[in-house]
Amino acid sequence: MRPQTQFWAGLPLDRPLVMGILNVTPDSFSDGGRHFDSQEAIAAGRRMRAAGADILDIGGESTRPGSAVVTVAEEIVRVVPVIAALAAEGAVISVDTRNAATMAAALDAGARIINDISGLAFDPGARALAAARNCPVVLMHMRGTPQTMDAFCAYDDVVADVVRELALRRDEALAAGIAPEHICLDPGYGFAKNTAQNIELMRGIPALLALGQPLLVGVSRKRFIGQMVGGLPPAGRDAGSHAAGLYAVAQGAHIVRVHDVAGASQGLRVWHEVSKSRA
């Protein structure tokens, strides 16, 4: 069952939402370099909106395993012009960052949502900033950092452990003054989880929904998708990614975070219409 939340970030949750991934980076695992130029990134954001993206998730630091750390100043330079241009055109923007200074600059430029892979735990100022700005947040589960996370894949029970650790991040956010209706959770597929654990965590979506917050699922082009389909490179994983996303929304997930917005939007539109008719 879906939580009773009717809206998140001003968006109705009566159908699955599509969050388009827009990396303004030279080194992201799937599309690094394609949108590093700000004008190309802005054009890509427009194409995503036209293809059906409800949210554009803009990030300036790659968080793939072993990725290089980017300075906050460089991250801000990368994302702010893109956010400002697309927000001015009415796009709903989330900023994908771990850094409070980048969060502040992005919100000033027109972003509405903070999407933090660390669940607001990396930067000591992040929770206070999100509370003061009264903005929606996505709290993701991970262990370690992008540079070390592959060494933290030991779980007693991956579903129970992720539920418990996400609940802790949620409770820390609430204690910092972030409104409960602003919190969305992300189980962090691919972050400190191997293929078998990611599959088990997909099957555990009902337990994640029991935490009572909207759920975002980010499986697009992830390594575990590639391993399930014979080792295809990231660009060849869209069909598998959409299958996993449809499985997630059928279990009750609210938002899918994707690279291929057109394919995801089409699949979800058909799924939603068929499911609605059957209901």
Which residue ranges make up each domain of the chain?
A: 15-278
Residue 92 neighbours by CB under 8 Å, 6+ apart: 9, 10, 11, 54, 55, 56, 112, 113
| Residue 118 φ then ψ, to 5° | -90, 0
User: Span 256-273, mean pLDDT?
Assistant: 96
Please tell me the distance from the alpha carbon of residue 25 to that of residue 64, in angstroms, as a whole number.
12
Residues noted as catalytic: 222, 257
Instruction: Indicate the pLDDT class of residue 207, thresholds 50, 70 and 90.
Output: very high
Q: What is the predicted pLDDT for the residue at 277?
A: 66
Instruction: Kindly tell me if the per-residue pLDDT of 190 is higher than 60.
Output: yes
At residue 162, what is the residue type? V
What SS3 class is residue 262? helix
Strand partners, 225: none
Q: What is the predicted pLDDT for the residue at 2?
A: 46
pTM, two decimals, is 0.93
Q: What is the predicted pLDDT for the residue at 6?
A: 82
Alpha-helix residue ranges (DSSP H) falling in the chain: 38-51, 72-88, 100-109, 126-133, 158-175, 195-203, 205-209, 223-228, 238-250, 261-278
**Percent of the chain whose pLDDT exceeds 70:** 92
Instruction: Indicate the pLDDT class of residue 19, thresholds 50, 70 and 90.
Output: very high
Instruction: Kindly tell me if the per-residue pLDDT of 73 is higher than 80.
Output: yes
Nearest to 223 by CA among 210, 213, 237: 237
Q: What is the predicted pLDDT for the residue at 35?
A: 63
Instruction: Kindly tell me if the per-residue pLDDT of 128 is higher than 90.
Output: yes
Instruction: Kindly tell me if the per-residue pLDDT of 17 is higher than 90.
Output: yes
**Percent of the chain whose pLDDT exceeds 90:** 85
Q: What is the predicted pLDDT for the residue at 28?
A: 55
Instruction: Kindly tell me if the per-residue pLDDT of 142 is higher than 90.
Output: yes
Q: What is the predicted pLDDT for the residue at 33?
A: 52
Q: Are 28 and 222 in contact (CB under 8 A)?
A: no
Name the DSSP class of 92: -
Q: Are 184 and 138 in contact (CB under 8 A)?
A: yes
Instruction: Kindly tell me if the per-residue pLDDT of 78 is higher than 90.
Output: yes
CATH class in words for 15-278: alpha beta
- Polymer length of the chain: 279
